[in-house]
Structure 1
């Protein structure tokens, strides 16, 4: 948003310098991105009138001019400008003047003729980049007046960078309102009076899409002179706001948009047919815009149309066929409020932008829509003449403005400064906010020009801006220090991460949105109903939410292998995402935390003692058992889409499945070009955080008795089933049973295997007798024989 400081000071004029005003605006949230004078420094240039022009006797392209500079005695000046002529009023640099570029003017002879000054172009004054001749001034310019005063060159152009929520400051009215509230200076806002109708001509307005366009004003104005000159003051303000002057009617609509923040549009009334409709585009409709771009209108584009054709993209740009020209004598003036959601993104879709769409998609003051059409009518009649008809109004449900409660105590606590209800009331009055009081609470009704006031924190922010961030002290936070309770049955997340790091794993963090192919490969999710697809992915390869951590870990492994890392240990703690109709707090989606891990390469770091053995299922199984110790885990064979069919297991704790572990499926090893299969695991993180509370047990002072037991069983018998059977009939003396050998081969029958167990027996009160030990061993053998048909190995 660019604007002239002199224009702003006609509305509010605080006793601040330009630099002070710039700092104040920035600290109030209206960041001043640039501040520059409208003209470089120069002096001794006045308004002059050319009295006489004769050809230079010794130069074809030079003229000798007699010039009145307002001191009563004409000066002789040699001028080479092609447009110099008697009667013109132009800028004249007097002897002693210094122009931009360190150009000094003095009395000199030009081809033998004395010249007492220089007639200037806009380029020579530094107020234009190019000029084809002298700067011609209006006929009423006062001769002898300082040109800086006459052209208002003692002015500064501000450019403020607004956040999207402050659309109210996309106008001089909004900025003036802010400056008045911040500084306390009186505001002299534009007075707009209703222009009475002098003709009865109207055009009906129909709201076919009231949700997108709930308010529309239209007015017919006849007998206008479209060729009338735009006043110099208006041209100057427009140009200093970054808008090029085009014609009087267009300039007036742009001026009102800058002044009041309400975009307007003027149609040639003779080109319209029937009623004006605010409706959504129909199938196959096309429109030639004012920028000469032909577009195919999508079904969600709001349009302005008459009974036979589309006239404009509502709130964005008008159509070429219904636009006004210098021949227009009858126009239909539009001032409307369009819902931000109905305008947002439409212009960018077609590859262009406009000042109107920039404002409408952020929110325009619907309380000032009528005022804008009256202001534009007033200026049109003053500048272009004509007669205005009555204003036609079409109105539906406007945005609701529910009151927002502000607690004084809450505002003081958040900002850390004492305020008081009386001071807050004064600040709200400065912003023209309507409110009522309930004790020290305020019920504030947001005005029609503020779409960013919805919750209490929004009002606290307004108070902070007005008080001034510089005036809010930086105080060290004060709080009572208290030791937080740490339940012994709950392990903190950092401890689990530390335990993984202690086992040689490094933590990674991956995006939660992944490639669709990963979901198919590692989670077997190929149906659209299974995938959780993003509505607006940041990249095509990040289109769905992950239901497993495996994809990211495999991608990390591939990256490491490309960088010649041959031994990789990775883990990640993150959410996975699953559809679940009963899930809370996010309805329809369950988002459990998981711990995923990957091991690849050597079982141990390379050394002269490691032997080069590759990591396998049992290495990772041992890591998981250590991670959950002292809890006892069970591992049962499982089919998993990401894992090897015969080398994968589900992990159970107290009969509940908590995760899976296994080698990567050979198909994916080949697809992702891996030299061999990594071992992967995934666990419920919530289970990992639970911990058993230690219980005291007496340590025996008596020696243990250790016996070995070797039995021959069917090769198909799972070890876990055998261990479970032993524990069911376990004698009280037995403290531990560990498998230490598995043998298949010579001396063992076909389809059989030999399992050797180490049995540890001990008592806390006495030394065990041989007879007790023998009886316990016999009991174990009988259990194995009866339950599993085991035979003692000879």
Structure 2
């Protein structure tokens, strides 16, 4: 809702020193969010004055009609002589009052006015159009003002309202009253304690008889209908400048006087109106449901098929309007319409909302009706409209009119006077609730600590005690509610939450950047992963209403999202990228059925909950990484190192380390990894070795499918599986005795995994071994074809003594002996 400040001040006696920005701040704090304050005309400077056209010379020697004019601008030009101006517009004549921008003026958009020679004549200024002045959109010609509007030579900026502050309010669905000047003005008056002049407070005389006949079929869908007529209307009467200006400032395009009047009253009072050409109306006006197969051509020239759920306004010939949304073309006010019938009604908000969405037709009227309008201002709004038609268009207002009223009075809400304070946690002074509730128009009867509050008809959103509390709190000021730290009632993070945070920290510390992908995928992604037809990851849940038809499946692996994020970063010039993601995947249970649709009038029973649980997929939490480019950059410090499959495996080891779990890696073949550069990852749960993921270099076909750089590596691990392997291991004891280091070099067959050798050494060395670390792998002539030499550093330490050389040597020999027994290793000399 756009609210011009000068228009607002007509209904609220605001102090002159209240600025638009101060008002915007107060309204926002009170729950009416002002998105912007538009300072219209702030880039406009004078001199811009009123002028009278004295002479017009037609210049016919040019391709288009050009006029050389002499305009009286009084003493505004400093000389009192007529101003000579070249103009191409044709819609004015000698003697007309116009708006003139003199040299030195600047119009909206940075358009500077000067004196220059054009079409062989000197032109010192410009005769202005409405568009050039920023009044409203009109390219038909310059502005011609009515006689007596202003004196020649006087400043035009203020009388034309060229400078105006306009508040742009984002009205929430529960505050339909704020879609009107009346509603905003009432809140402003309450905030500032200023006098409020209700524009709907008209004195309406009793009808001298029934007006145009009208009826309502269903009081639940429409409960009020008012019909007022105006005869002798001049359809060619222009809309006055002040009205066109206000409509434009409010975001409504001026059309014609009859239409502009209904729009003006709607903006002023919040009640949508419809003006009919009464000569085209055939019989009584009837508010009813649409009939099956009924059609209507609306004002936007679209032929619409009506739904039986639509409310229509009809005459004897059929539907003439979709109630509360848009009128029909047949009864539209035209250039020959002199008999006007103004209709104002009150409709069910949900019915209008459904019709608007059904026909994909949102209008200024539907926006108001679906949020709720005042159910008692229809007569005032219709009366205001016909009186404006009489004042501005020469019409005569008919004293007979029709009112159909099936409305029921609102029931009072009983609430404690202290309820608002209880909700806010603030001890408001006695009488605070009564004061603010009366300020917004409620009727309040006090009975001790209880208040019987009847909400006003313009506030259909107020239905219970908490709504009343909200009104009191927002006017007292949300900013005045103290911030109190809540007392902790939880027990901190769970073990799973701590593990997830630890995993995120360790990966971030080792150079990975976290990404969050949508949990959606497609058959194309699964094909890109080179998954076999019987791969369990191909069994995915299909969404009934996906965000995109290109990704209709719930993911069964986190890798596709990571691959797409990597490709996007590489495509933007990032050559060294390491990403990780933690999230759920969705694995349907074998034989799972569709979940039942539950009733809404009760909670689900045990059997229904069991059916829902059976239909839900397994949702394990996975951690995935993907990396490419250099893991270590080259520089003055030395050679860099390219990221490889080993870094992907190390990411899994880091995750296992922060989880306190031993991870085992073993060569494997598993899509989407390269068959010769893939490792299966295992943990032990209750002594049983269980797979938890894979890591390594991606298959070249996968790299091509996702547009990734060559030699890209990735890892995916089941974090839930890692967590299940955790045990409550005691904290390690720190020994103060010295360490003894022994190196061991073993020659084994090239196919023997290093992890198997390391495990044998660790087991054979016994309890004195503190750690075993691989530091060299050698292949070459010295060890023979198909053989490799692996070297380990063994660290020994005792908790209670300094180890002797004999103890260290015996432990080393035991480690070598077991490694030799299990792997066929030979101690290298």
TM-score range, shorter chain: 0.5 to 0.7
Establish whether residue 386 from structure 1 lines up as the match of residue 398 from structure 2.
Answer: yes
Establish whether residue 196 from structure 1 lines up as the match of residue 203 from structure 2.
Answer: no
In the other structure, the counterpart of 1:241 is 247
Deviation at 1:174, TM superposition (A): 1.2
Secondary structure in structure 2 of the residue aligned to 1:290? coil
In the other structure, the counterpart of 2:648 is 620
- CA pair 431-546 structure 1, distance change in 2 beyond 3 A: farther
- Kept in 2: contact 1:567–1:602 (CA 8 A): yes
In the other structure, the counterpart of 1:634 is 664
- Kept in 1: contact 2:697–2:713 (CA 8 A): yes
Secondary structure in structure 1 of the residue aligned to 2:541? coil
- Kept in 1: contact 2:414–2:465 (CA 8 A): no
Establish whether residue 136 from structure 1 lines up as the match of residue 144 from structure 2.
Answer: no
- CA pair 731-254 structure 1, distance change in 2 beyond 3 A: closer
- CA pair 664-173 structure 1, distance change in 2 beyond 3 A: same
**Is the deviation greater in 743-752 or in 420-429?**
743-752
Establish whether residue 411 from structure 1 lines up as the match of residue 445 from structure 2.
Answer: no
Query: Deviation digits for residues 382-421 of structure 1, max 9, x if unmatched?
Result: 94333645433577999999989954266366xxxx8534
Deviation at 1:163, TM superposition (A): 0.7
In the other structure, the counterpart of 1:13 is 13
Deviation at 1:120, TM superposition (A): 6.0
Q: Describe how 1:318-329 pairs up with structure 2 within 5 A.
A: 318-325=327-334, 326-327=336-337, 329=339
- Kept in 2: contact 1:218–1:333 (CA 8 A): yes
Secondary structure in structure 2 of the residue aligned to 1:188? coil
Distance 1:533 1:638 in 2: 37
Distance 1:432 1:460 in 2: 15
- CA pair 521-756 structure 1, distance change in 2 beyond 3 A: same
In the other structure, the counterpart of 1:429 is 438
Q: Describe how 1:163-178 pairs up with structure 2 within 5 A.
A: 163-165=170-172, 166-178=175-187
Secondary structure in structure 1 of the residue aligned to 2:22? helix
- CA pair 449-123 structure 1, distance change in 2 beyond 3 A: same
In the other structure, the counterpart of 2:580 is 571
Distance 1:643 1:276 in 2: 72
In the other structure, the counterpart of 1:652 is 683
In the other structure, the counterpart of 1:669 is 703
- CA pair 170-480 structure 1, distance change in 2 beyond 3 A: closer
Distance 1:183 1:669 in 2: 67
Establish whether residue 681 from structure 1 lines up as the match of residue 690 from structure 2.
Answer: no
- CA pair 494-760 structure 1, distance change in 2 beyond 3 A: closer
Secondary structure in structure 1 of the residue aligned to 2:170? coil
In the other structure, the counterpart of 2:166 is 159
- Kept in 2: contact 1:266–1:332 (CA 8 A): yes
Distance 1:640 1:443 in 2: 73
Secondary structure in structure 1 of the residue aligned to 2:715? strand
- Kept in 1: contact 2:4–2:166 (CA 8 A): no
- Kept in 2: contact 1:595–1:685 (CA 8 A): yes
- Kept in 2: contact 1:206–1:394 (CA 8 A): no
In the other structure, the counterpart of 1:257 is 266
In the other structure, the counterpart of 1:499 is 506
Secondary structure in structure 2 of the residue aligned to 1:558? helix
- Kept in 1: contact 2:346–2:373 (CA 8 A): no
- Kept in 1: contact 2:212–2:284 (CA 8 A): no
**Is the deviation greater in 719-728 or in 671-680?**
719-728
Greater C-alpha radius of gyration? 1
Distance 2:303 2:786 in 1: 78
Deviation at 1:318, TM superposition (A): 1.3
Q: Which runs of 5+ in 1 are unaligned?
A: 49-55, 62-79, 83-91, 109-117, 785-789
Deviation at 1:632, TM superposition (A): 0.6
The CA RMSD over aligned residues, in Å, is 6.6
**Is the deviation greater in 434-443 or in 613-622?**
434-443
Q: Describe how 1:746-785 pairs up with structure 2 within 5 A.
A: 780=818, 784=822
- CA pair 368-563 structure 1, distance change in 2 beyond 3 A: closer
- CA pair 489-237 structure 1, distance change in 2 beyond 3 A: closer
Establish whether residue 180 from structure 1 lines up as the match of residue 156 from structure 2.
Answer: no
Query: Deviation digits for residues 580-615 of structure 1, max 9, x if unmatched?
Result: 978999x97988765432232456544799888754
Deviation at 1:679, TM superposition (A): 1.6
Deviation at 1:258, TM superposition (A): 2.6
- Kept in 2: contact 1:7–1:237 (CA 8 A): no
- CA pair 162-344 structure 1, distance change in 2 beyond 3 A: farther
Secondary structure in structure 2 of the residue aligned to 1:159? strand
Deviation at 1:377, TM superposition (A): 6.6
Distance 2:701 2:408 in 1: 62
Distance 1:25 1:701 in 2: 73
**Is the deviation greater in 542-551 or in 748-757?**
748-757
- Which residue, 580, 596, 608 being the options, matches 2:624? 596
In the other structure, the counterpart of 2:99 is 123
TM-score when normalising by structure 2:
0.63
In the other structure, the counterpart of 2:302 is 294
Q: Describe how 1:294-443 pairs up with structure 2 within 5 A.
A: 294-297=302-305, 302=310, 304=312, 306=314, 309-325=318-334, 326-327=336-337, 329=339, 331=341, 333-337=343-347, 339=349, 342-343=352-353, 346=356, 354-360=363-369, 362-366=371-375, 368-369=377-378, 372-373=381-382, 376=385, 383-386=395-398, 388=400, 390-393=402-405, 407-408=420-421, 411=424, 419-433=428-442
Establish whether residue 33 from structure 1 lines up as the match of residue 38 from structure 2.
Answer: yes
Distance 1:7 1:609 in 2: 72
- CA pair 381-506 structure 1, distance change in 2 beyond 3 A: same
Deviation at 1:4, TM superposition (A): 6.8
Query: Deviation digits for residues 428-453 of structure 1, max 9, x if unmatched?
Result: 32222567889999998875545777
- Which residue, 544, 548, 555 being the options, matches 2:564? 555
Query: Deviation digits for residues 17-44 of structure 1, max 9, x if unmatched?
Result: 275467335532356423669x999999
Distance 1:756 1:298 in 2: 84
Distance 1:754 1:40 in 2: 88
Distance 1:436 1:693 in 2: 69
Distance 1:201 1:692 in 2: 87
**Is the deviation greater in 666-675 or in 338-347?**
338-347
Distance 1:334 1:194 in 2: 17
Secondary structure in structure 1 of the residue aligned to 2:432? helix
- Kept in 1: contact 2:49–2:99 (CA 8 A): no
Q: Describe how 1:736-747 pairs up with structure 2 within 5 A.
A: none
Secondary structure in structure 2 of the residue aligned to 1:28? helix
Distance 2:142 2:573 in 1: 65
- CA pair 127-576 structure 1, distance change in 2 beyond 3 A: farther
- Kept in 2: contact 1:737–1:759 (CA 8 A): yes
Distance 2:450 2:528 in 1: 58
- Kept in 2: contact 1:571–1:596 (CA 8 A): yes
Deviation at 1:188, TM superposition (A): 2.9
Distance 1:107 1:652 in 2: 97
Distance 1:9 1:565 in 2: 57
**Is the deviation greater in 322-331 or in 737-746?**
737-746
- CA pair 703-738 structure 1, distance change in 2 beyond 3 A: closer
In the other structure, the counterpart of 2:121 is none
- CA pair 713-391 structure 1, distance change in 2 beyond 3 A: same
- Kept in 1: contact 2:520–2:551 (CA 8 A): yes
Query: Deviation digits for residues 522-557 of structure 1, max 9, x if unmatched?
Result: 5989989724587666xx878877664433432343
**Is the deviation greater in 673-682 or in 445-454?**
445-454
- Which residue, 697, 702, 709 being the options, matches 2:733? 697
Secondary structure in structure 2 of the residue aligned to 1:385? strand
Deviation at 1:121, TM superposition (A): 1.0
Distance 2:564 2:411 in 1: 49
- Which residue, 504, 507, 515 being the options, matches 1:509? 515
